[in-house]
Structure 1
């Protein structure tokens, strides 16, 4: 009798919980969700971001031709990082992304800290994406800072409005954007190869070998994004299979394009590579003359919209999931479910990005602080997420566990390069750990096998 009573009580308690997430249902297929091509495009858009517009030149300015070693190192380092998050996303598809993995591994307070790092850190970097693209548009059409601000503002509005209709619509848009972007970047690389000069590789490290580390700290911005699509993993039509396949495809595409673009920037532009904020436009002018600026502007438009689309979609979805799990106010929880549109969370992300954009526009501030602040927050997400991967994947996936362990070591080394910008995630983390205890999350901790 006592046993029967306990069983009935257990069934009643289960019936009062919120509907289970995708990870609680054994990673079921999601008919009508993101297919493999759309998922790969989202990854490419998230990782192959606006770094292609400015960072080849900025890295060359810091380290000269030796910056190519920083690029190569980060491509190699991306493999275990991407593999670890792919293994976690395939096993635990949920809008909470890394915060969900951390919640399962280390509990609610740690998950709140990780969620806040991404949810409050990424929107600060989104305006920087818009400004990167706007600088190219301004160069093509002419105009000063006011023109750049106007272009950046329009790009921001388009990015947020596009995500108001849901990830399935934005996934189709992303497929088009990423495909066109990849083709144009290949064109840019091919047309300037005849102008490459190996003499531009000397002196190889004009600023000293230590400058490779400085360049690497900047380039981390170019390789953030592997955690971004984890927030959209439950939106895949078949998460268990397609998340890993999309990651592998994106790794190949991104690695080849980044290394090729960095190489031709140094080989073609030489010392001038570090003297411009629009190195891609300079490359295309070399290969295509007056048409170069026009094509560079099209590339800038595609890459900016594509990257913003991926980050806005994932950040808004994360906010809804954090609300669902008690890490943010309950009113933001709408849209956390698979297929839902998190419009309230989207408005918050838009507000943070809007304020940041306004400050940057009025003060004409340099974009590097925005880049490094966001990089510090996302790097902290990577570190705790990799640690969670070691715990969750141990005994389940030997390759996943090894990848997570390698990723953790790499991330800690990269975080050391960000310097005092680590204050930002430290403050957010302390606030998350000191907040009142959140309500019990609706996602059962033991599920997802």
Structure 2
């Protein structure tokens, strides 16, 4: 890997060959700390922030606050694995790149196919969630959710395709808007009430009750696995990627805990809105005239989430095309800046839009998309822990093995159809690689 600045001789040689040289093969390292943190926040904070606080509260009452604290604690060791692997192995392949470093190209191809199948379900589900929020904006009730979802996907595609530097500035604005909006919703919910009286009792049985709601809130802590697909674009991945993970984790966790506390302060446990639209209900109870703002905020959050998701998915497609798993033109980059892979972005938006459209004919449901995609994303943590254990030595290896065993036991609780889908995709990618269809063509040292 070369540094950002070459020698004078190297620069003159590059200039002499510039006219004959083809498009760049590596993406420009444009992401610095502020833009990378913003991208991380917008990738992680999505529909989970708008729904999960109410679902957990509906299940376990005031003890739900413990579920958020436990989920944050459980996430820490997983993020340690991701932070170290992302810093040591930066690249557009993300988790598939980690697997390739640990187990070779054939297994990485299997993970790539599984990821493509997962993105193809999860990202349309995010878009459809935004479509439903779009319908709640006054005057827009008649717009079909699938149509609004396709529109949001198109906007995300344009944002990513216009270039990494511009996209990162857009993400900074969106991250600030969504963070400020959710923080304001939490403050509105907590003000005027008696939040101290709604803290969970400090008893072991209450903690155990909160742990029972862990499954309802853990989905809100997923997303950092998608961030790993953007590390090739970091100006200094070894230094900045761990920082991005830590900063975004602290911001996200603070938002989640405050929102959960506001829900417990303002709503009754048996309030039906607690399980469907808790943040909207909190703001409506505290400031009825501002309820419509929550619908707009929901669309902004999903739009920001989609930009990050399409960004990550297009980089996976580009990386797979580099390896020969997908058609080579999908790896083509901008001649001037080395970013973005517009062909890959266009294909991603088209496929995701078709999947969103399929829900209009009842071929697929939003619940189906979320369930399968969520469990497949969980498996990415398992794969990363296994790679971490293989590549490290001593105490870090023991740490990786421990995390992998625990995640593996949890994965056994998934339904047979969900596990079968993931296994089928893994085997398909492995078989394609073994048949020689995607042999890597890279220069030594790349």
Interval of TM-score (by shorter of Structure 1 and Structure 2): 0.7 to 0.9
- Residue 69 of structure 1 is aligned with which of 53, 66, 70? 66
Q: 1:171 to 1:431 in 2, by over 3 A?
A: same
Runs of at least 5 residues in structure 1 that lack an aligned partner in the other structure = 1-17, 23-29
| Partner Cα distance (1:56, 1:104) in 2 | 38
Contact 1:117–1:381 (CA<8 Å) still a contact in 2?
no
**Secondary structure of the structure 2 residue equivalent to 1:140:** coil
1:228-377 aligned within 5 A? 228-271=226-269, 272=271, 275-294=274-293, 296-335=294-333, 339-363=338-362, 366-377=365-376
**1:226 partnered with 2:224:** yes
User: Could you report, residue by residue, the CA deviation over 1:170-221 in whole angstroms, capped at 9, with x for unpaired residues?
Assistant: 111111101111111111111111335646969x999x978955x4334333
Contact 2:29–2:232 (CA<8 Å) still a contact in 1?
no
Contact 2:182–2:255 (CA<8 Å) still a contact in 1?
yes
| Partner Cα distance (1:158, 1:125) in 2 | 17
Q: 1:19 to 1:362 in 2, by over 3 A?
A: closer
| Partner Cα distance (1:240, 1:191) in 2 | 39
Contact 1:54–1:132 (CA<8 Å) still a contact in 2?
no
Q: 1:220 to 1:361 in 2, by over 3 A?
A: farther
**Corresponding residue for residue 419 of structure 1:** 415
**Secondary structure of the structure 2 residue equivalent to 1:270:** coil
**Corresponding residue for residue 30 of structure 2:** 33
Contact 1:124–1:352 (CA<8 Å) still a contact in 2?
no
**Corresponding residue for residue 126 of structure 2:** 129
- Give, in angstroms, the shift of residue 312 of structure 1: 0.5
Q: 1:402 to 1:305 in 2, by over 3 A?
A: farther
Contact 1:62–1:211 (CA<8 Å) still a contact in 2?
no
| Partner Cα distance (1:80, 1:200) in 2 | 26
Q: 1:205 to 1:331 in 2, by over 3 A?
A: farther
Contact 1:191–1:287 (CA<8 Å) still a contact in 2?
yes
- Give, in angstroms, the shift of residue 66 of structure 1: 4.1
**Secondary structure of the structure 2 residue equivalent to 1:257:** helix
Contact 2:189–2:266 (CA<8 Å) still a contact in 1?
yes
- Give, in angstroms, the shift of residue 292 of structure 1: 2.3
CA RMSD of aligned residues (A): 3.3
- Residue 408 of structure 1 is aligned with which of 390, 399, 404? 404
- Give, in angstroms, the shift of residue 62 of structure 1: 4.2
**Corresponding residue for residue 385 of structure 1:** 384
Contact 2:24–2:338 (CA<8 Å) still a contact in 1?
no
**Corresponding residue for residue 51 of structure 2:** 54
**Corresponding residue for residue 185 of structure 1:** 182
**Corresponding residue for residue 4 of structure 1:** none
| Partner Cα distance (2:285, 2:120) in 1 | 35
User: Could you report, residue by residue, the CA deviation over 1:302-355 in whole angstroms, capped at 9, with x for unpaired residues?
Assistant: 211111111100110111111112333333222399832222222332232112
- Give, in angstroms, the shift of residue 84 of structure 1: 1.4
Alignment coverage as a number of residue pairs: 417
Superposition TM-score, scaled by structure 2 size: 0.83
- Give, in angstroms, the shift of residue 151 of structure 1: 2.8
| Partner Cα distance (1:336, 1:438) in 2 | 26
User: Could you report, residue by residue, the CA deviation over 1:246-284 in whole angstroms, capped at 9, with x for unpaired residues?
Assistant: 111001001111122122223321221665522111111
Q: 1:224 to 1:414 in 2, by over 3 A?
A: farther
Q: 1:359 to 1:200 in 2, by over 3 A?
A: farther
User: Could you report, residue by residue, the CA deviation over 1:88-140 in whole angstroms, capped at 9, with x for unpaired residues?
Assistant: 11112111111111111101121012112222212311122122223233223
